Amino acid sequence: MADRRDFLGSLLAAGVVTRGEVFSDRLPEPLSASLPWLKRIRGDYRAVFDNPRDDATGVIRAWIWLNQCRGILDAKDDDCTAAVILRHGGVTLAMNDAFWDRYELTLSGGTAEKPNIPKRNPKLAAVMKEDMSGYPPPARPWAEGVGLDSLLGRGAIVLACEFAFWGLISRVMNRDKIEEAAARDIATTHLLPGVSLVPSGFFALAACQRQGCAFVTNV
């Protein structure tokens, strides 16, 4: 908490926040109305995980971090906030199995001759458990049960970049031969339950940090 106060104090000195915001989790209007997910950031332990690729590194690290907060720091899930930003190539992970099946999303790791086109979202818990053998041995006990759906089930905040999401809308437009508005409606209905769209991924990263979340890079 001391580190968080120091961080917010630096924002105060820079004029980014007001003194009333520094020691409160209350959000100024219209911020709380336009970005309701910000009100879900809570507890002494807060972190935001960047996930710009479809390898789900941010998802995995957020899951391990939550488990380590619980196992090492004896923290409760209610005292921890993990936010994951699906942006750039990572936005495809926000989509449900039906979208992956119909619109043939290509996963990284394939080749032009043999593209990697899964029939379902490859970063849900039921699929990811098959990849556990590829994790470093020290990470395996902390990563048990990892998946974007299981992370959402623990109350994590998962946000998808609107800029990158337009690429999925375009895919629907081209595949179904429909206009953008109708394609947007279709794509939006295929978002995994609990995922929220944000104006941009980098906007969400900065907004989470303003609320005291430590930034975890994808490197």
Q: Using one digit for the tens of pLDDT, what is the confidence trace for 105-159?
A: 999 988 888 889 999 999 999 999 888 888 899 999 999 999 999 999 999 999 9
Is residue 14 scored above 90 in pLDDT? Answer: no
Find, among 105, 170, 11, the residue nearest to 19 by Cα: 11
Structural contact between residues 69 and 75, judged by C-beta atoms closer than 8 angstroms: yes
**pLDDT single digits (tens) 75-85:** 998 999 999 99
Rounded-to-integer distance, Cα 35 and Cα 26, Å: 13
Give me the CATH topology for the region 55-216. Answer: Hypothetical Protein Ychn; Chain: A, (3.40.1260)
The Cα 125–Cα 51 span in angstroms is 17
Q: Can you tell me the mean pLDDT for 182-210?
A: 97
* For residue 11, pLDDT beyond 50: no
Helix (H) or strand (E) holding 48: strand 45-51
pLDDT classification of 20: cutoffs 50, 70, 90: very low
Question: 27 falls in which pLDDT band (50, 70, 90)?
Answer: low
Give this prediction's pTM: 0.85
**Number of other residues whose CB lies within 10 A of the CB of residue 173:** 19
